[in-house]
Amino acid sequence: MNPHNVVHPTDDRRQDFAEILEDFDQHCHDRVRLRPDAWSGPVPVRLLNAGEQDRFRKSRSTREPTPEFEGAPALYEFSEVYFNAKHTVSLVYATHFCGGLCGEGFWVALALENGEWKRLRWRAPQWIS
């Protein structure tokens, strides 16, 4: 979903959104390669290559559990993160696929406030199946 057409910021963030759209236009076709050893957090994260992603999707279309992905709730994907000029407001597209007709996709707007990223309440459609 192109943010130019579907994301609607609050009135106080229109300039930030205009700057984010400039960043989007310049970088929407960029691809980033993430390093598996660069992640840490409260839950385990496993980065999958294209073949592993295909196997995950196929594993969710059968009734037999696949040991390779045991315990994985879903396959999560994210766009590049797009920023305003000051890097204090961002926009990212996120999806997750949990099998069959189980999934969701949406744009998320965040603002850096007091050293923490907080979700903004911008209007944008999302899909759920």
Over residues 16-41, the pLDDT tens digits come to 999 999 999 999 999 888 888 887 88
Over residues 91-107, the pLDDT tens digits come to 999 999 998 889 999 99
Over residues 3-20, the pLDDT tens digits come to 999 999 999 999 999 999
Residue 9 tokens read as: 């910021």
pTM given for the model:
0.86
SS3 per-residue string spanning the chain: CCHHHHCECCHHHHHHHHHHHHHHHHHCCCCCCCCHHHCCCCCCCCCCCHHHHHHHHHHCCCCCCCHHHCCCCCEEEECCCEECCCCCEEEEEEEEEEECCEEEEEEEEEEEECCEEEECCCECCEEEC
Over residues 74-95, the pLDDT tens digits come to 999 999 999 999 999 999 999 9
